[in-house]
Chain A
């Protein structure tokens, strides 16, 4: 008799989705993908579009590597993963240029950055290479969303405090500026991205004591 099939959303599979959002978050716990968290969190819109692109590349990358997991020669597996990610990113870029030119202009150089996003390579190597397609798919979604919420949260702080805008729309009223309020230009500069991420990490660890390292 065939082995009883695991339910699509078993407890284990649900954990694949939920863990990366909090206790195994790629940015705040694993500290991966910091480079893009720094580069594209000045405006929320960019952070959001970048997150969507990473989600797309991550899902397809994880699925493809998972399908090929028993065929990939282990000695060149990193190169194979790199080729899969790079090919996907270029495809996404070409398709955006042809069908969504305005989005493509906004993303410009950042699309290329996706290739070097360590979260994607990390998940391919650590998860998709050793797991079936469905769990790999869930793992991709979980990690991409875990990445996305940090990115958007950081961008929210930086855009509101740095430019007084939300999604490009002025939200701090003109009267504030007349009273002497000023946008904090420091928020727009890269160091504040790291400091904001650090504040999120701090908040997360004081809430969840298990994440605190021993020493």
Chain B
């Protein structure tokens, strides 16, 4: 019996079969690869935390280096203080418009390198096209920035995307986030080229103003919470 390929029945049948096959295939692929993908994401997060304290790790030794340098981690403020700080998805919490600001969890990673203590703070914000994030490491005086690393999802290559390179992030090294009285002082991103030197200013990226401003916004908003926390415990 010849099948009429222009009949409604055949068309429907084909569509249903196609959806079932493709759906199954994608579900299997997604489930089968999930554990590997999760491990990659975990490794990447560890590498970023370590790079804030200027420790170079690779995907192969990320876990090992992380346990070596990160001695402790905790949540300094938020809804769920008992959760594992590493598992806190600040990106998700940042995007969750229903979450009260005070309910956001603020994880802190305490690292030890060559006998010195460093505090690594995760930051998250919005660039021009999508989320931007990073890690800022403070020295044991709770106010001097030891290192910073930023990354982005979809900023323009050559412009906003430059925030992820050390040419930008190195400017943060040595800046101080509190003034002499211990009050929080934001790191401003400037356009006039006055950012060099240690003056709580960094030079923005030419052609990447909105991304640069995004970095300023996220570091200001987040570091203030931590600065107040450090003030309260000292």
Contact = CB atoms under 8 A, between A and B. Distances in A.
Nearest to A99: B36
A91 B159 CA distance: 30
Interface string B193-226: 0000000000000110000000000000000000
Chain B interface helix/strand/loop/mixed: helix
A83 B18 contact: yes
A87 B40 contact: no
B158 interface: yes
Interface in B30-44: 30, 33, 36-37, 40-41, 43-44
Contact of A73 (B14, B33, B59): B14
A147 to B, nearest CB: 19
Given A76-B11, A95-B33, A87 B207 contact: no
A185 B5 CA distance: 56
B157 A46 contact: yes
Interface stretch (B21-29, B105-113, B132-140): B21-29
B178 to A, nearest CB: 34
How many B residues touch the partner, as a band? Answer: 20 to 34
Contacts of B25: 87, 91
Nearest to B14: A73
Contacts of A99: 36
B114 to A, nearest CB: 29
A79 B19 CA distance: 11
A189 B208 CA distance: 11
A94 B40 contact: no
A94 B30 CA distance: 7
A72 B206 contact: no
B206 A83 contact: no
Contact of B5 (A73, A83, A90): A73
A188 B33 contact: no
8 contacts: A43-B157, A71-B14, A87-B22, A94-B33, A94-B37, A101-B40, A101-B44, A188-B157
